[in-house]
Chains A and B, each alone.
Chain A
Amino acid sequence: MHRFANPTRFLRLANAVLPWLGAAAVLLLGVGLWMALLRSPADYQQGETVRIMYVHVPAAWLAMAVYSTLAIASAAFLIWKHPLADLAARAASPIGAAFTVVALATGALWGQPMWGTWWVWDARLTSVLVLLFLYLGHIALTNAFDDPERGGRAGAVLALVGVVNLPIIKFSVDWWNTLHQPASVLRMGGSTIDPAMLTPLFVMAGGYVAVFAVALILRIRALYAERRLRQLRLSLPDA
């Protein structure tokens, strides 16, 4: 694993898979859109609004999966002090924030017709809002120090403390009364959703994962270039 911790080697590998990830994103999202909008049936209770599920649920999954990535990168940075782990963490948080915004916005657009309200301060919605603030806090904190090493460490500690929010999000629908429906896909005893809806959901989720991977690689490249420029400017006598 440490072999790939060398930025040059990592970037060579990442750039080799980048076109494939991009192609996978286009293909999966294209097929996912077709299945979600045209092939899948309307729900017998929710009607056509069930189609919001195909963009909402993968966004919520990714919002949490990106946070796991952020937490793992942060732990790796604190333990091995490797700069690439710091770059990965910094690259992850804006992407996670974007998916969280999509989850919250599409959730509101689904909540209004089905629950009769855009927003309710219940455990599931509030804990996802906290997730967004964790991402934004991580972005702000990592950039708040002149010394990137210190910023990276502070951000990593915040990211690890915030991990406690992940099980709260996941189990909030079981622990507290809420308007939000309980887990229906990833649950003990199997999914309660029909395959005609489950397949487009997973295809779309695959597309979201590919988008995340492409964005993560590109942002790591951008941050790596930024760091090289910074080191260059520091090394110039007239800087």
Chain B
Amino acid sequence: MSEFFAMGGYAAFVWPSYGIAFGVMAGLLVWAWTSARNGEAEVERLRAAGIDPRRRQAGEGVQG
């Protein structure tokens, strides 16, 4: 087991690599998730208050 963690003497390079790769990807996903959740919750809050952002946009037209 300790042999596994020692990585043939290269533990100081192998483990930080995995830590950075998975840490950055986890951070990216958490940020993307919370930003989507917060933004959509705010839209929902305003809509519940009787203001519909989507209806306000009507007339601008949806291209496509």
> Interface on A for B, CB 8 Å cutoff?
2-3, 5-7, 29, 33, 37-38, 42, 47-49, 51-52, 55-56, 59, 80-84, 94-95, 98, 101-102, 105-106, 109-110, 112-113, 208, 211, 214-215, 218-219, 221-226, 228-229, 231-232, 235-236
Known interface pairs A5-B64, A81-B63. Does A229 touch B29 (Cβ–Cβ under 8 Å)?
no
Kindly list chain A residues whose C-beta atoms are within 8 Å of the C-beta of B25.
98, 102, 208, 211
The residue in chain B whose Cβ has the minimal distance to the Cβ of A42 is: B8
A229 to B46, Cβ gap below 8 A?
Answer: yes
A51 to B14, Cβ gap below 8 A?
Answer: yes
18 A–B pairs (Cβ distance < 8 Å), ordered by A: A5-B63, A5-B64, A6-B64, A48-B9, A55-B22, A80-B63, A82-B63, A83-B63, A95-B32, A102-B21, A109-B16, A211-B29, A222-B35, A225-B43, A228-B53, A231-B53, A232-B46, A232-B56
B10 to A113, Cβ gap below 8 A?
Answer: yes
Known interface pairs A5-B63, A83-B63. Does A52 touch B56 (Cβ–Cβ under 8 Å)?
no
B20: interface (CB < 8 Å): yes
Query: CB-CB contacts of B14-44 with A at 8 A, as 1s and 0s?
Result: 1011101110110111001101101110110
* Size bracket, chain B contacts: 35 or more
B48: interface (CB < 8 Å): no
Tell me the minimal C-beta distance from A214 to chain B in angstroms. 6
Most buried by A among B28, B35, B54, B60: B28
Tell me the minimal C-beta distance from A41 to chain B in angstroms. 12
Known interface pairs A47-B8, A98-B24, A211-B25. Does A3 touch B32 (Cβ–Cβ under 8 Å)?
no
Kindly list chain B residues whose C-beta atoms are within 8 Å of the C-beta of A101.
24
Contacts between chains A and B (CB distance < 8 A), count: 127
Pick the contact of A218: B20, B21, B35 (CB < 8 A): B35
| Docked CA distance A49–B14 (Å) | 6
B2: interface (CB < 8 Å): no
Kindly list chain B residues whose C-beta atoms are within 8 Å of the C-beta of A94.
28
| Docked CA distance A228–B33 (Å) | 18
Kindly list chain B residues whose C-beta atoms are within 8 Å of the C-beta of A208.
25
Tell me the minimal C-beta distance from B34 to chain A in angstroms. 9
The residue in chain B whose Cβ has the minimal distance to the Cβ of A4 is: B64
B21 to A229, Cβ gap below 8 A?
Answer: no
Kindly list chain A residues whose C-beta atoms are within 8 Å of the C-beta of B4.
37-38
B17 to A229, Cβ gap below 8 A?
Answer: no
| Docked CA distance A62–B17 (Å) | 16
